[in-house]
Chain A
C-alpha cells in the first residue's frame, strides 16, 4: 500500500478552538460594508453617508462587545488556540472588550464633525475599523509573527489616517513622518524577533515560558498547587500519579546550575522594546508624535492618542511580565529611566506650547511615562495599576479630544483653519458653560486633583514603586507632575478667567453626543468614589501560579 507523501498536514481548526469570533465578525462586516457602499455609491458622485456609516460601525463594534461578553467561557479558558498563536486569558478578554467599547464611543463622537473636517469619504471610517481589528489581534497574539502582523495591520491603517487630508501639506507631511518612523520601528521589531528565534528556536510565547521561566513557576510545590485548582487539572495529576510518572514541571530547578545564556535574548528584547516604545511615543523616541498629532486631522489624532496605546501595552506586559521576567534585572531599570525622562519631557515641553493638539501630545507623553514607571517596577500590583492607569487614560482621552473636536467656531471663512490654539477656547464659560465645566473637570482629572479619578492611578503607581524602594524616581516624578499641572490649570484659566471682552461663538452640539460626553465626565467623578467597578475589570489580569502551569500544559 503506497500512500502519497504529498498528503496534507493533519491540521484541523476545530470549532471549539475557534476563539476569534469577535475579530472574525469585525473583518467580515468590514468587507461586507465595503462591498455594499461601493455598490451604493457607484454612480452617485458626492453622496454623503459618513454619519450613517459611523453609527453603523459603532453598532458593529458594540455587537463585537456583546460577542466578547458572551464568549466568556471560551475566551477566558487560559488556553492557546490556532497552533499556540492566540492566547485566551483574562487580560486579552478585558483589553479586547475595552478597545471595542471605546472605539464604538469614538465612532459616535466623531460622527458629526466629519463633515466640517472635510473627511466625508467612507474609506476613512472603514480604515479606522480595520485598524481596530489589528489592535484586537495584537491583544491576543501569542507569538511574535502574529504580533508583528497585527502591529503592521493597525499601524499601516494609522499612516493612512494621518495623511488622509490630501489638500493639506501638514497632513501629508505628518503621514510621511509617521510612515518613516513606523517602518524603522517595524524593522527593529523583526531584527529583535530574529535574535530571539536564533537563541530559543521558537517564536511562541508559551515556548519562551517553558524555556526561560521554568524556575519561576516550578518553585511552587505540588501540595500548594492542589488546593485550588480546576477539576481538569486534578485529573491530569491523578493520571500522572497513577502511571507513576514524574511530573517534571513542578520539579524545582537545582540551585546553582547554569541557566540559559541570555545574551542574545537581551539584545533581541532590547530591539523589540525599542520598536514598541517608538510606537507608544516615549521620551527619547517621541519626536515624531508632536508633528504627527498637530498635522494630521483632529479625529485621526484623537484615535492615535486615545485608542491605540492600550494594546501595545498588553503586548509589552506579555513580553516583560510573562515571558522574560527572569532576565528582567538587565532591562527593567531602563523602563523606569525612560518613564521618568518622558514625564520630564512631557512636563517641560508643554509649558510654552500654545497649540492645543501639541499640548495634548505632550500630556500623552507624560501619561505614557507613568505607565512605563509602573511597567519597570514589574510587581503584580504595579502591572495591575498600569492597566488601571491605561483605562483611566482612555476615558479622559475620549473626554478631552471629543470636546476639542466638537468645538466648532462660528466664523465666516468656514473650515479654513483646522488646528486649534489656546486662544480659540477663551471665555468658553460665557458661550457654553456646561461644556466649559466638563472641560475643566477633565483637565483636573488628568492633572490628578483628588476628587476625580485621575488621582488614584497616579497615586497607586507611586505607591507600587515605593514598595520596591525607588525613592528618587517617585520624588522626581511627583515634582515633575506638579510642573505638568501648570499647563492643565492654564487651560482652565483660559476657559474661565481670560481678561477679554469678546469671546468666540460656537455651534451647539447634538443631543446624543452630549449624553455620551456627560456620561463619560460623570464616570470620571463617580469612579473616584466607587473604584471597585474598575477594579472588577483588572483584578484578574495576571495569572495565578496554577494558571501559568495550566497554560503551559493544555494546548487546544
Chain B
C-alpha cells in the first residue's frame, strides 16, 4: 500500500543522503542541554543564569530556572507603543520587589509581528535579529527577560532552528562577526509572565489592595504556550496541569477568583496582519469567541492575559461590537498591571489605564480605588509638564512622592500568605 505523503518522506531521504541528522526535531525536549553541548563544541556561547533563580516545571516536566534579578528587559513594540502601562507595570513591580534591571536602548523589536503578518523576512534575518539582541544583553551581563509573547515564542522557534541547522548557525555567526558580536543564546528563554509566576508569592506578600472580590477570566496567549509547547510553565495545582499555569497562578496567589470558560484555547483573533489591515476578522473573533463567551459563562470583572496582541485585540475590539449591541464591556489588562494595582500602583501614572478602551473604572471601584482622585492627580502631573516645571515624569513621580494623601479609599483586608 502506498501512503500519499510524498513530501515528508522525500525530506527525510534528502536529510539522510546529505548526512544530516534525521532525528525528529520534536526530540528537542531539553534545549538547554542541546545549547550547552553546542557551546562545548565551540559553536556558540550560552549566557548562563548567574544570580539567584527559582525553579519551575515546564509542560513535560523539564525544570526551568527563572533568574530573579539583574535582568535585561527585551521590550515589546505593541506594549511600548500602544499600551505603555503594560511595560511600566512590569518595571514598577520589579522595582518594588527590589530587583535590579536594565532597560536598554540597544534593543530592536524581534520583528516577528511583521514576519507573521507579512512574511517580508526570512529564517536567517529572523535568527540574526534575535541573536543580535541576545548578544546585546550578553555584553551587559544582564540576563534577558522577554516582554512580548510573540517575541518569546518566536525566539524559541529561532533557538530550535539554530540548534538543528548548522548551516544557519554558520550564516548567523558570519553576520554577527560583521557586527562585532558573538553567536550567543541565553541558557533559558524567559517570558516576563514566567517571572511573575515564579515570584507570585513575593508579589502577593507586597499586596496592599484586596482583590478577593474580583472575578477574573484568563486568556492564555497562543505564542506563549503553543509554539515550542514543552517550554511553557505548567503546575499540577493549577488546572490540574492541563493548561499553562502562568497568569492564573498569579491571580490566585493575589486572592482573585479565577473562573473558567469554554473557549479558553481559542486565540484572541489578533492575526498579526488582521489586527492592522483586516480587522473585521479580529473584531468578530475577539468578541464572539472570547469576550461574549466569557461574559455569558463567567461574568468576569476583568480579563487578564499576558501578551501584547491579546490585550490590544480583546480590549480594542469591544467598541465596535458594542455599537452592534453585542454582549461586551469588560476591561482587559495584563496580569502585570493587575498585580501592580494590587501592590498599590497608581492606575494612571504606572498602569496608564487611559490608553485602554474598554471601561476599566467599574473594576477600579470594585478594588476600592478612587479613580476620579487618581485622574485628578495625574492631570496635576500633566500640568507640571505643560508649565515646564518638569520635562518628563520619573519613577518618583509615579510613586507620588509629591502627593498629599493617597487615592486608596479603603485599607486592605486581604493579605495572601500562601
Instruction: Please say whether chains A and B are actual partners in one complex.
Output: no
